[in-house]
Amino acid sequence: MKLKIPAAFLRRIPKADLHVHLDGSLRLSTLIDLAKKHGVELPAYTEKGLRQKVFKDKYVSLVEYLKGFSYTDAVMQDAPSIERISYELGQDAIAEGVRYMEVRFAPQLHANGSLTAQEAIRAVARGLSRAQEEHNTSVAVQNGEELEFHFGIIACAMRNFNKFMSPYYATLIGTLTQFSKSEVVGIASLELAKMIVKMVKEEHLPIVGFDLAGEEAGYPAADHVAAYQYVHKHFIRKTVHSGEAYGPESIFQAITECYANRIGHGTHLFSADMIKDRKVTDKKAYVDSLANYLASERIGVEVCLTSNLQTLPEIKSVKEHPVKEMIKHGLPVTINTDNRLVSNTTVTKEMELLVKNVNLTPKELKNLVIAGFKSGFFPGAYTEKRKFVRKVIDRYNALAKEYGIPLY
């Protein structure tokens, strides 16, 4: 029998969002306001108009989905704007019950003549810290009625870039003319890796992870191995966008060459037909071994349902999404937003979408919720993380009892 979960329960339980892009998660009102301030031309200057022309519920292609980022990135070229956007994202997440969040963005994408990549990171940290302090010093938290809020920052390198994406990339491409394109992207990612390690050591900023984002097919993670080796040796956790637009081999490369602790999306994990290596003669065995390895090593999979439905036309509905297969294989699956604005979603909406379309047991639902906290690259000590996760579990159990939802 299908588990019936009240919407109010999903709204009230503590939630985590481990895969959320800053430049895809602005408030529409803020985008309009900042565009007017900075002279950025938009196709419409009302929220309704932008929903109709840019930020839709359905997109015809990945190209259309990505179009909105050209507008959001254009207003994120100074520290005050980035800080404001980060603060508001923290507020919005807290308001819907998110108690742990890892915000990712590509600092080099926002570097220009008046803003460094380091300053962009500091602005994100300031904005999120302000939202955190407001919540954590509230009467509800102080009285133990609400859980505190924690966050981390994930710095994204880009699999591919061009000179039009930012002044930083334009300068890099123009300077390193003696190198191949794959070498140039590798140099950029290694520079980012060294930068964040230095900032963590010297400024103690909550930069908890290193990611690789951008166009997956044709731009292998292997180009960025030096960067991943560097952060790996300096105790920075790793995640990689992989298996989203490419097959299982991309995930294999992420875990074997980039030491990935988590996988971003992993949607095509079970797509054996996408394997291109001719040396793989038993494709099903390859996929099974890969899934079993992920499960046994507790390598988390950051699932983003709405985003996948919008960018992968081959997935017609949540019922066709491989999330249930991932759960069946024992993978530590987490449910995330990806882009709150571009996908018009929240973690609560993603959870509602899941329980309405996937037949979960009470234990599976609880595991999904708790996995979001256990799989997080928590910025504090491991003992602090364990105490926080214990609070999350206790809160979940109490709400389950209140709503008459079994735990097993």
Helices 28-38, 62-74: axis angle to 10 degrees equals 50
d(CA 210, CA 227): 9
Question: Phi and psi dihedrals of 355, rounded to 5?
Answer: -70, -25
63 and 112 Cβ atoms separated by less than 8 Å = no
| Count of CA atoms in the C-beta half-sphere (13 A) of 327 | 21
Sheet with 150-158, strands from edge to edge, namely: 15-21, 98-105, 150-158, 207-213, 237-242, 262-265, 300-303, 333-335
The model's pLDDT over 208-267, given as tens digits with 9 standing for 90+, comes to 999 999 888 788 999 999 999 999 999 999 999 998 878 899 999 999 999 999 999 999
- Per-residue pLDDT tens for 318-370? 999 999 999 999 999 999 999 999 999 999 999 999 999 999 999 999 999 99
Amino acid letter at 123?
A: A
Tell me whether residue 403 is exposed, middle or buried, using C-beta atoms within 10 angstroms of its C-beta: 0 to 12, 13 to 18, 19 or more. Answer: middle
Which pair of structure tokens corresponds to residue 406? 């079994």
Secondary structure (DSSP) of 169-194? HHHHHHH-TTS-HHHHHHHHHHHHHH
**pTM, whole model, 2 decimals?**
0.96
pLDDT digits (tens, 9 = 90+) for 110-151: 999 999 999 999 999 999 999 999 999 999 999 999 999 999
**Helix, strand or coil, per DSSP, at residue 17:** strand
Q: If DSSP codes are grouped into helix, strand and coil, which group holds residue 242? A: strand
What is the dihedral angle through the alpha carbons of 249, 339, 324, 354, rounded to the nearest 10 degrees? Answer: -170
CB 369 within 8 A of CB 97: no
Supply the mean pLDDT for the chain. 95
Angle, helices 181-203 vs 117-136, to 10°: value is 50
pLDDT score recorded for residue 77: 96
Give the CA count within 13 Å in the CB-facing half-sphere of 54. 23
So which residues are the catalytic ones? 244
N-to-C CA span, the chain:
14
| Third-level CATH fold of 7-402 | TIM Barrel (3.20.20)
Q: 236 exposed, middle or buried (CB, 10 Å; 0-12, 13-18, 19+)?
A: buried
Please give the full DSSP string across 33-82, using - where no structure is assigned.
Answer: HHHHHHT---S-SSHHHHHHHTS-SS-SSHHHHHHHHHHHHHT-SSHHHH
| Domain boundaries along the sequence of the chain | 7-402
Which pLDDT score is estimated for 408?
A: 85
- Dihedral angle at the C-alpha atoms of 139, 141, 145, 149, nearest 10 degrees? 140
Q: How confident is the model at residue 62 (pLDDT cuts 50, 70, 90)?
A: confident
Mean pLDDT of 185-206: 98
Question: Average of pLDDT values for 190-199?
Answer: 98
Tell me the C-alpha distance between 241 and 301, whole Å. 10
Q: What is the pLDDT of residue 1?
A: 54
